[in-house]
Amino acid sequence: MEGLQALHGLRVVEMGQLIAGPFAGKTLGDFGADVVKIEAPGAGDPLRNWRMLQDGTSVWWQVQSRNKRSIALDLRQPDGQDIARQLIAEADVLIENFRPGTLEGWGMSYEALAAVNPGLIMLRISGYGQSGPYRDLPGFGVIGEAMGGLRHLTGEPERVPVRCGISIGDTLAALHGTIGVLTALYHRKVNGGRGQVIDVALSEAVLNVMESLIPEYSAFGAVRGPAGSALPGIAPSNAYRCIDGVVLVAGNGDSIFKRLMQVIGREDLANDPALANNAGRVVRVAEIDAAIGTWTATRTVDEVLAQLGPASVPAGRVYTAKDIVEDPHFRARDMILRQQTRDGHELEVPGIVPKLLGTPGAVRRSAPRLGDDTDAVLREIGLSAEQIAALRDRKIVS
């Protein structure tokens, strides 16, 4: 129907917490899925209290949990597990990112759940996956980034590796999980309605985006190491100092390189046959970087961009949060959205990606308070007001 979002009608139960599982739930929710988030009574998802708080709640929470409903349910109690099973019996997708074996210990293996709901798609995100010798080890995103090879490449040579400043391993796992869910939904539609398990390991999600790292080792025994802001084997592509900051320049295309050298007044390098292709430029990358850096060092970032832009040389400044929210292009693309929290605050948050032009995503609901939707969700599975009150008295729900 016209006006409905792409995932309208999709029912999702989210049993994860913190970052990886909930980011997958948030992504599905942005495109119309009804996401019911199960949280522990009392504290809820720890992300509610991470980083900077507004009226006692993390502003991060307002992004991670938009378009979700919250039910506070104690999964450690058998009656709480029974309610979860009832919710899952009506769901299309279950998201969980507990340590492997946790759901099985609660009597909620995929086999048991699928016996009641054969079409169920279960997304399982963990540090190392549901099998293998490391299966039972605890694994957060930082460990997945290290094991997947990312941390070895970040930072400067001969120095301690650095992180990129966000939990990128968790987010990569969530995005791979979301791809898995959408793939499994299509398979279910065209192959008899059967669901399946999607097994995502944080370490593998990171490894999957490591480009040529493994084949280079396989073919040449090359162990790639950290290279600061440069991109080894691709030249020139680096960060260069200006009078008032840093500019990123990617002049690694053959024709782009020639235009770049002409702009900086190095016709000798622009017309050097040895530098006409990437292989030749890689050999002399230090010389090329020095030439670019000498030119940028006497100019402001704005001056550099003003000259490189018209020459069709990819270049950009390093954005801060302030730069992002003030950028007219992000504004024009609806990448800075204003939403209201349940406590009445106006908050600017990142927009929705990707952009579906026919059935775009939207923020339909602000992030819930803990247990905001407990009663409504329980009524949907047939519980009466008296039954809900009894569960609340026994502290199974709140």
Percent pLDDT > 90 in the chain is 95
Do 131 and 154 fall into the same domain? Answer: yes
Highest mean pLDDT among 162-171, 197-206, 222-231: 197-206
For β-strands 336-340 and 346-350, DSSP reports them as: antiparallel
* Domain ranges, residue 288: 237-317
- What value does the mean pLDDT of the chain take? 96
**343 vs 337: CA distance, rounded Å:** 17
What CATH number is given to the structural domain containing 91?
3.40.50.10540
Do 99 and 128 fall into the same domain? Answer: yes
Rg (CA), the chain: 25
Task: Kindly state the helix (H) or strand (E) to which residue 176 belongs, with its residue range.
Answer: helix 168-190
Q: What pLDDT is stored for residue 392 in this prediction? A: 97
- 32 pLDDT band, cuts 50/70/90, is very high
Residue 219 lies in a domain: no
Please state the pTM of the whole predicted model.
0.94
H-type alpha helices, 297-373: 301-308, 321-326, 328-332
Residue 325 lies in a domain: no
Do 180 and 43 fall into the same domain? Answer: yes
Q: What pLDDT is stored for residue 2 in this prediction? A: 55
What CATH number is given to the structural domain containing 249?
3.30.1540.10
The pair of three-digit structure tokens given for residue 265, joined into one six-digit string: 């007044």
- 118-144 residue pLDDT tens: 999 999 999 999 999 999 999 888 999
- Indicate the residue among 285, 317, 349 that finishes a domain: 317
Q: What pLDDT is stored for residue 3 in this prediction? A: 75
Burial class for 390, CB neighbours closer than 10 Å (0-12, 13-18, 19+): middle
Highest mean pLDDT among 115-124, 158-167, 227-236: 115-124
Do 183 and 299 fall into the same domain? Answer: no
- With beta carbons less than 8 A apart as the criterion, state whether 30 and 361 touch: yes
Please identify every residue annotated as catalytic.
170
- 1 pLDDT band, cuts 50/70/90, is very low
Do 157 and 246 fall into the same domain? Answer: no
Domain count, the chain: 2
Do 374 and 335 fall into the same domain? Answer: yes
Do 253 and 386 fall into the same domain? Answer: no
